[in-house]
Structure 1
Amino acid sequence: MSTLSPLDRLMPRGYVRQMFCFPSTHADVSHILKTSLAGVVADVPYLLSEIIISDDHRHISLSKPYQSLKDLFSEQDISNAVDYATLKQQHFPPSAFTVPGIIPPDTQPPFPNPAPVFRARLALVNRGFILCVAVHHCTTDITGFGALLKIWASYSRTSASTIGFGPDWLDRKALLEQFHASDQRAPASIPELLHVQENIVKPIGSSFHSPNWTTGIFFFPQKTLQSLKQAINQYIASQDAEGWVSLGDILTVLLWSAILVAESDPNTDIKGTSTIGFPVNFRSRLNPPLSPNYLGSAFVMAVATCLREDLIFAKNASLPSGDMTLDSASISALAKIATTIRTSLHQVDGERVRDVLLYLDAAPDNHPPITLGPPHDGISIVSWADQGAYELDWGSIIGKCDAIRLPKLMNKRYPIVLPRVPATADGDGGLEVIVCFDRPVWERFRQSWPICQFATLRCYS
């Protein structure tokens, strides 16, 4: 029987959930998805289980598998309400996914207790379909979620898993057994990648009761980001500095700056520092490493701190939209912040992760609530870019998805970088970012210099 790891039990008690949009209208879509899901369940039996939370909310466990495939998969015909071609023309706006019948039951607050580990809903629309998949966060992270999709697509494509699935995808004991085997002990004090939960810092400019939340999706073309990355790394090399920064580091800088521009009063909030949090997948950082397709939770939170004035340096940028010509001072500032983010990522190494896992494993039941990561200002930027969902081939009948979406959000949400969009004959590849702010903040985010210069608004609701 599968059990939850100490890190799994620290995850948010909700769902990792995505909507996948396919243009197929074949009559066998439902049959193929159901029969191929049976193969997934045979490989990953705990999908038939439930998450059980104790009455005092301090303990969480996984039940024995007892559900059936019928519990996991449902379908709904909403073709009278939703037209696929219209959705595609509008870049699949978030509001379209709030139509009743798209989201599987029991995967929205308030959650039942026990709560299902897995639910999927096939929504048939006019000229296509939407597949909504929800997996309880206490069993997986976004990388594990992507691995589950990889298994499902493989069975859908070939009626047999051909992706090298093995026990190491499932083995939650692997997180700790190597440390116990060498008789390593938990650190006496709480590790730097954890902290005791205290009062949550209210982010600057936040409004948690806004009646006017706006969800927007912005697109950053790959070619634009690649050119910016090249310019910044050339600058770093010109300063005789070692190291480099990634495209992801640079996008994090742009989004971080756009957030501060949107939420700050430029007359009073330019001084001081800003600290953000972001998840770091540690599968490859352990020794020996976990499988890259390990299905459990395997990330920790890192933080980066920079001067606010460095982050808001171009608040009055007047370059026309799409003109990415930045002066040397701007390139220097971007390089400085991106290097800070890269340094923070490097600090998540095997030793620090070991300390986290051993400490969580040894923590007594009466330990004060623990939160992942050092404290930060409440701003988090999450990336699903490497999920690889667009590349999945679900077979000749189902095909590949056109878009991956979340529904219109009704709460504030700092940027989530959606799975990387590959280049096609119809358009350039790049990265989509979804955010949700109350309308005035959203407008300032949209009009901020990083968005105006490097992104386009795809849709909003």
Structure 2
Amino acid sequence: MADDNEDHYFGLTPIDQIMPRGYTRMAFCFPFASDDPVPAIEALQQAHKAAIARFPFMAGTVALSRDGGEHTGRLEVRYNNHDVDEAQVFVKKLEPPEFPHTYEELKSMGMPPSKLAGPLISPLPDFPDATKSCPVMALQANFLPGGLILAVSTHRNVTDAAGTAVFLYALRQSLETHGDTPINLPEFSDDKLRLLLTPGLPHTSPLHEHPEYTLDTDVVAVSSPGAQAGDGSDLRQDNPTDEETQYLNQGKIFVLSAEKIESLKTYLGKRASEKQSVEEAMNRNHRPVVVTTDDALCALVWVFVTRARALYLTTLQSESPDEELSSSLSLSVSIRGHIQPPIPAFYVGASVVYSQATLPVKILLGADGAGLSIDAREYSVPSSAASALTQCAIQIRQAVDRVTPSHVRSLISLCHSTADIRDLQVNARCAGGPDVLITSWSDLDLSEGQWLIPGIGNDGNVEFIRKPWSRQDGAMILMPRIDHSSPGADNDDDGDGLEVLIQLRTEAMVRLEQDVSFMSYVTKVIE
């Protein structure tokens, strides 16, 4: 007789394996008008069960592979029918003295991440103990006076932000149908679908073809305060009341004027075309530079964060006077649409790789705004940063364009040839270094669709999406775009602003907020 609780296992793709080992954490914030949370809890539990039934591995655990995982670092997913049947939404009531705020108070402050401590609203930390098995995901409903904060945590080595968005789409569909109607997604076997991202090239790819990654375990890509080179990210949970954290690092959301960013994008596109027209005579293979909104945002952050770090970057340069100090921007780039056969839109596994743009720090700090044929002032672009911003935008677009099908397959080959996959890390010296790492949630439709949860307001639409408070120096997120403006609001209202989470050491954050040129783009700072 077959075992009704048979264990299921499947290995993860090389792209899954090289993601930073931790959780993607999101908090979806809604007004909640009902005095009785029970109907909302029951609806969420029912919808969650339906979504888990569609993606049963999300109820499982991720652990080192049974086939030599202790030595190779490879991970696998494990789950059984009991895991699926017992999967549920965690529920918590936030109230004084632990949580002294109402939803309206938080809303009036712009839903500050510093009030949303990870351990308070999320059942899982940013970085779990990598030596132990841990849940693939967790969902926690936090009820506070006048509000509901739905915290979602998904393991980066199993799914990414785009995959999380697919799962949440299934959850919203189940809320609409009370879990009674099949979810409107194509049927597929996830473990077989992951085979699309397993084959590499027929030959081994050398590391120098992928400077965005490194086998140098002394590189600390993204770490918490006090982490030393080689330690990676420590296991302490993020807590905004921790004195050491407050002293060392800060994380704030900067709301940038959409109109000014659009103007910056136009300017950078014209400057890039102007610069390219000169180079085309020497190189006919130049591809047209098309600057996107995200390119403009990334260029702006890269330039002005580097300038805010100038004091300690000067110290780093003085320690190695014979070597030119460079800064790299590591970008997460979706490989959907960049690989053959194509990855379906409903794929839930990790589908991002990192690409890298690099420039000498002296260019990022340089104030070369003289002799420009296109007047930066016409586009409200600071002339002191015009040249640096243009070069950044060009490098960023080239980095994104490098992610081709052959590039992805080459990276997969590199993964296959790496004995211990844990040694292959993102080559980003963010913590206390000159580099920046940017992830984008801006194009994932996370704010789309209604959440038909009994008792919530705003017509079932999410009001804010936040990452629970964190403190990772040099790690930035382009946040989902939500229109916060109200009918009849003034044109200068910041409802259409573009939110960027910026995390820096405290002294650099202070200098960033004192930079008049950068702050000319900022309509609001949310701490």
Q: TM-score, normalised by structure 1?
A: 0.86
Amino acid at match of 2:512: F
User: Does residue 140 of structure 1 match 2:156?
Assistant: no
Among candidates 151, 162, 185, match of residue 202 of structure 2: 185
TM superposition shift of 1:133:
0.7
- Of residues 13, 20, 23 in structure 2, which corresponds to 1:15? 23
Deviations 1:65-124 (A, max 9, x none): 341454442101114433100110011112221286411157764478220111111111
> Does the C-alpha gap of structure 1 residues 428 and 409 become closer, same or farther in structure 2, counting only changes over 3 Å?
same
CA distance in 2, matches of 1:279, 1:108: 19
State the partner residue of 2:174: 155
Shift of 1:449: 4.6
User: Is the counterpart of residue 259 in structure 1 residue 344 in structure 2?
Assistant: no
**Residue 61 of structure 1: CA displacement?**
1.8
Match of 1:425 among 486, 490, 498: 486
Deviation at 1:55, TM superposition (A): 5.0
Could you tell me how far 1:59 is from its partner in structure 2?
Answer: 3.4
Contact 1:141 1:297 in 2 (8 A): yes
1:40, CA displacement in angstroms?
Answer: 0.9
Instruction: Tell me which amino acid in the other structure corresponds to 2:265.
Output: K
Residue 253 of structure 2: aligned partner: 217
How far does residue 199 in structure 1 lie from its aligned partner after superposition? Answer: 4.3
SS of the residue 1:135 aligns to = strand
Q: Is the 8 A contact 1:257 1:450 kept in 2?
A: no
CA distance in 2, matches of 1:99, 1:141: 19
Cα deviation code 1:239-293 (max 9, x no counterpart): 5633221111111111111221111129947974322211111111112211133
Shift of 1:130: 0.7
2:437 paired residue number: 380
Equivalent pairs, count: 447
Residue identity opposite 1:40 in structure 2: A
Deviates more, 1:399-408 or 1:84-93: 399-408
Asked if structure 1 preserves the Cα contact closer than 8 Å seen for 2:204 and 2:417, the reply is no
Question: CA 1:153–1:327 in 2, change beyond 3 Å: closer, same or farther?
Answer: same
Q: Map 1:309-348 onto structure 2 (within 5 A).
A: 309-314=362-367, 325-326=380-381, 330-348=385-403
Q: What RMSD in Å do the two structures reach over aligned CA positions?
A: 3.3
| 1:200 aligned residue | 218
The structure 1 residue matched to 2:509, chosen from 413, 419, 442, is 442
Amino acid across the alignment from 1:34: Q
| Structure-to-structure mapping, 1:353-372, within 5 angstroms | 353-360=408-415, 362-363=416-417, 365=419, 369-372=423-426
Give the match's secondary structure for 1:214. strand
- The C-alpha deviation readout for 1:350-374, integer Å capped at 9, x for no partner, is 00101112332x3364578222469
How far the C-alpha of 1:410 sits from its partner, in A, is 4.2
SS in 1 for 2:251: strand
1:35 and 2:46 aligned: yes
Gaps of 5+ in 1: 317-321
**Contact 2:61/2:133 (CA < 8 Å) preserved in 1?**
yes
In 1, the alpha carbon distance for the partners of 2:367 and 2:110 equals 30
* Distance change in 2, residues 1:132/1:287 (3 Å): same
Find the partner of 2:469 among 384, 404, 408. 408
Contact 2:154-2:160 at 8 Å conserved across structures = no
Report the more deviating stretch, 322-331 or 189-198. Answer: 322-331
SS at 1:283 equivalent: coil
Residue type of the alignment partner of 2:408: V
Does the residue aligned with 2:526 lie in a helix, a strand or coil?
Answer: strand
2:311 partner SS = coil
Q: Counterpart of 1:428 in 2: which secondary structure?
A: helix
Partner of residue 319, structure 1: none
Distance in 1 of aligned mates of 2:420 and 2:314:
42
What is the rounded CA distance, in whole Å, between the counterparts of 1:268 and 1:128 in structure 2? 46
- Using the TM superposition, give the Cα deviation of residue 195 of structure 1 relative to its aligned residue in structure 2, in angstroms: 4.2
User: Within 1, Cα distance between the matches of 2:209 and 2:62?
Assistant: 29
| Alignment deviations for residues 352-411 of structure 1 (CA, whole Å, 9 cap, x no partner) | 101112332x33645782224699954212222112211232126341211111233244
TM-score normalised by L of structure 2: 0.76
Q: Distance in 2 between matches of 1:161 and 1:186?
A: 43
What amino acid sits opposite 2:258 in the alignment? Q
Q: Distance in 1 between matches of 2:275 and 2:379?
A: 22
Secondary structure of the residue aligned to 1:436 is strand
Distance 2:53 2:292 in 1: 39
Question: In the alignment, what sits opposite 1:246?
Answer: 292
The CA distance in 2 between the partners of 1:365 and 1:265, in whole Å, is 39
Separation in 2, partners of 1:19, 1:122: 10
Which residue number corresponds to residue 283 of structure 1?
336
Aligned partner letter, 1:187: T
What letter matches 2:89 in structure 1?
Answer: F
Q: Residue 451 of structure 2: SS of its match in structure 1?
A: coil
